Amino acid sequence: MHLLYDVCHNIAKKETHMVDGKKQVVCVVRKGATRALGPKISGIPEKFQTVGQPIITPGDMGRASYVLCGTDMAMEETFGSTCHGAGRRLSRKAAKKAGKGRSIQQELENKGILVRYTGRSTLAEEMPEAYKDVSEVVAVVHGAGISRMVARLRPLAVVKG
């Protein structure tokens, strides 16, 4: 297999951004966020210079994920940041309780999603209902102009372990 894309989330990184009309080096802490550098920003590969940094925004095991790209607005408003996923709706403990007695694997396989996992509780704590709907979250960041929607992906297989 070839690596297509690799980027961290939940990081702190020194970057140069405009602050009060001047370029300044600041330490940007991204917790629950990822980089969304806009077009023509040094530090992103040349092939993305015209469109902005690509962003993979995962959803959950049963719904969509998205490919986004960074924007000039993100550079102005969020230090080049956007969401790195939908965010949890239920705690892990609450999700396990809600999944009790259900066959999450069978529910996903009924949707045509192949599932491989170790430990039933791992699958339950990550069930789709444990997360906000990423499509709604992506619509907000796209609408706000801090990242641009490029593609919607649907899950074919899930590996949890």
Is 84 catalytic? The answer is yes
Q: Report CA torsion sign: 13, 82, 40, 153.
A: positive
Choosing from 2, 9, 17, 84, which is the catalytic residue? 84
Q: Which of 113, 135, 133, 117 is nearest to 125 (CA)?
A: 117
E strands in the chain: 11-19, 22-30, 33-35, 54-57, 65-70, 81-83, 114-117, 147-153, 157-160
Active-site amino acid positions? 84
